[in-house]
Structure 1
Amino acid sequence: MLKKLSLCILLLSTSVVAQDKAMIGPTAVMSVADTQLSYEARMDTGAVNTSLHAFDLEVEGGSASNMKDNIGKTLHFTTENGSGERQRLSAPIVKTSTVSNSQGRETRYMVNLDIGFHGAERSVMVNLRDRSHMDYKLLIGRNWLKGKYIVDVSEKKLIGPVATISILETGLMFKTRIDTGAVENSLHAVDLKVEAGVDDMEKNVGKMLTFMTENEKGVAHKVKARIVETSLIRNAQGSEIRYMVELNIGEPGSEYKVKVNLRDRSRMSYKLLIGRNWLQGHYLVDVDR
């Protein structure tokens, strides 16, 4: 009886959430009102802010050496969608945003732009960066999604943008970023050693690999797993090849086997990132949770 009551409460709460917020898929065709351009946009619950491809940035009246000193000035920039259509835009700089990644820290200008579905755009702060190496020229972050949408990479249970996730093979719990912008899961791994390994990473597929991982509390564990494939990861800095292994990952008590790529995330806040290959078919992501 108690199980049935709990299930009814869960279904009711999910229904209420669905009534309050619209559902949106992992990608959508959106427009930037001032450009009349259409973009295939990626919904990215791993990103705080929305990000637009921009280049040839020019601060009117000249740029100060300190980017923050340019706040309030007019910024001219060119944007381009996935079809190669371009337009020159101008907007006041409202703030700067510093983004940390594995390559270090990067400061970007932020402007207010009207972004959304054609005819229903709404103003949101957008950071501007060169996304020429990225598949999606417009990335929709939590500041656009919040309070309005649930991101559905398929269907099923709700999960927030951050969750406590277990990896059975490590015996560790990780405070984890749930990132619909990432195709794959990614785990912090250092001291990778392949048994009878060779320089050609592809030729090491099928061999056993040992590595050290560590959660955000600094608790470390040595893991041994078989390399199931390699993954080519592209980002703004170029591309890199990573080993992939299969691990049992999930909310405590609900772990299931899934592929995860291994990389040094020592400079990242989250040592485990959950991507769409774990979410798909299992979870909805609600950035308000």
Structure 2
Amino acid sequence: MVKIIGFCILFMTTAAWAGDKAIIGPTAHMFVTETGLNFEARIDTGAGNTSLHAYDLEVEGGSAKKMKDNVGKMLMFTTENAAGEKKRLKGKIVKTSTVSNSQGRETRYMVELHVGDKGFERKVKVNLRDRSHMDYKLLIGRNWLKGKYIVDVSDKKLIGPVAPISIVETGLMFKTRIDTGAVENSLHAVDLHVEGGVDDMEKNLGKILSFTTENEKGEAKRVHAMIVETSLIRNAQGSEVRYMVELTIGEKGQEYKVKVNLRDRSKMSNKLLIGRNWLQGHYLVDVSI
């Protein structure tokens, strides 16, 4: 989606200029030169690195037991875009990348590829991951965006990839990951208890849910809120259903009501993740801040 702000001029089909940085929307058409394929990419400020769908990975000459010992070797892999177009590639493993998510940690190979609007691609390190069950086969992370792009899910104030955010109902401040790749906000929550709850999560809508949350400093609070809906979340490990409640969230003194899904984020660095349902209509994301 293209947004033009003030004196910005149209930048190809993907972005507009604001000052010395281009503005790019939450999704964009991207071309990966080495593949000859076009991808509809998710622009994700929550991801440090760009990630490409890849399967049938094979290290030339055989793989060492430890992935990091394969750095410098040639890797063969197959990628595929959303249209089902496939390409078998061969590239040098330049490093490995360890990715943390709510299911734990995993290590991925990284290769260098040219990614961008067709004719304006830039070389970037890309980690390789089976994204076959994901909507977007290419995810653009901060290593491609930094210094060149502001991510616009609306057309408002600037916010960085991490920000101090308040949740009024908890009385706590959170060091929050701002994640344009996430549709919804997500809050660390454990010890969930539904008053008069049943096993069927859908039948608990409208009931009061109590849970404990904790910020990065270890400050904890027990919260009571009404379940407003359930949310089906898909990620690299599969899918899960989470409860959603409404909480008052924002920069201190500028909070507003928004839906939040609840998930045990004890393994994650950031206990609160802000998604597009909070950003929409309010903020631009600049990963250089």
TM-score in same-fold range (> 0.5): yes
Counterpart-to-counterpart distance in 2, 1:44 and 1:236:
14
What's the offset of the Cα at 1:183? 0.2
Counterpart-to-counterpart distance in 2, 1:266 and 1:236:
18
Counterpart-to-counterpart distance in 1, 2:186 and 2:136:
20
What's the offset of the Cα at 1:153? 0.3
Deviations 1:12-34 (A, max 9, x none): xxxxx921101100000101001
Counterpart-to-counterpart distance in 1, 2:219 and 2:171:
10
What's the offset of the Cα at 1:251? 0.3
In structure 2, the residue matched to 1:214 is 214
1:155 aligns with 2:187: no
The amino acid across from 1:261 in the alignment is: N
Aligned counterparts, 1:225-244, within 5 A: 225-244=225-244
Which blocks of at least 5 consecutive residues in structure 2 are unaligned? 1-5, 7-16
In structure 1, the residue matched to 2:169 is 169
Counterpart-to-counterpart distance in 2, 1:78 and 1:183:
28
1:142 aligns with 2:142: yes
What's the offset of the Cα at 1:167? 0.1
Deviations 1:179-219 (A, max 9, x none): 00000000000000001000000000000000000000100
In structure 2, the residue matched to 1:256 is 256
What's the offset of the Cα at 1:103? 1.5
In structure 1, the residue matched to 2:92 is 92
Counterpart-to-counterpart distance in 2, 1:279 and 1:201:
27
What's the offset of the Cα at 1:138? 0.2
For this pair of structures, how many residues does the alignment match? 275
Which blocks of at least 5 consecutive residues in structure 1 are unaligned? 1-10, 12-16
Q: Which runs of 4+ in 1 moved over 2 A?
A: none
Counterpart-to-counterpart distance in 2, 1:276 and 1:144:
20
The amino acid across from 1:85 in the alignment is: E
In structure 1, the residue matched to 2:37 is 37
Deviations 1:144-203 (A, max 9, x none): 000110000011000000000000000000000000000000000000000100000000
In structure 1, the residue matched to 2:122 is 122
Deviations 1:58-84 (A, max 9, x none): 000110010011000000000000111
In structure 1, the residue matched to 2:59 is 59
Counterpart-to-counterpart distance in 1, 2:135 and 2:158:
27
Counterpart-to-counterpart distance in 2, 1:220 and 1:84:
47
Counterpart-to-counterpart distance in 2, 1:127 and 1:238:
19
In structure 1, the residue matched to 2:109 is 109
TM-score normalized by the length of structure 2: 0.94
In structure 2, the residue matched to 1:223 is 223
**What is the Cα-based RMSD across aligned positions, in Å?**
1.2
In structure 1, the residue matched to 2:3 is none
In structure 1, the residue matched to 2:14 is none
In structure 2, the residue matched to 1:186 is 186
Q: Secondary structure at the match of 2:19?
A: helix
